[in-house]
């Protein structure tokens, strides 16, 4: 069985990275695409997966789907208001 996306992301983001805040489980990660793009980036965080309760909640496929749909709806709602280049 494939691990939930939040578990996969936690492993990816924490591998060989120094902790910025051990109590919060925040890692230094200065190679994010959103930091080096010419376009307007969007970085969405749905929870702190070091928090056991949030990790459990985010591991639920129904919650993951609901969050993804909410982000997609928000982006779609903003698109008509953006000027075309």
Q: Which residues pair with 21 in a beta bridge?
A: 26
* 7 has a pLDDT exceeding 60: no
* β strands within 1-85, DSSP E: 19-21, 26-27
Q: Residue 66's pLDDT is what? A: 95
pLDDT per residue as tens digits for the range 9-34: 555 555 677 777 777 767 777 777 77
* Stated pTM of the model: 0.52
pLDDT per residue as tens digits for the range 28-37: 777 777 778 8
pLDDT per residue as tens digits for the range 38-84: 877 777 877 766 777 888 888 899 998 999 999 989 888 887 766 66
CB neighbours of residue 49 within 10 Å: 22
φ/ψ of residue 44, rounded to 5: -115, 125
């Amino acid at each position: 069985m494939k691990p939930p996306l939040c578990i996969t992301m936690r492993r990816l983001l924490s591998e060989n990275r120094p902790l910025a805040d051990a109590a919060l489980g925040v890692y230094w990660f200065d190679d994010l695409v959103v930091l080096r793009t010419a376009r307007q980036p969007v970085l969405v965080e749905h929870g702190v997966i070091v928090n056991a309760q949030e990790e459990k909640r985010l591991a639920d496929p129904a919650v993951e789907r609901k969050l993804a749909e909410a982000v997609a709806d928000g982006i779609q709602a903003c698109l008509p208001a953006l000027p075309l280049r």
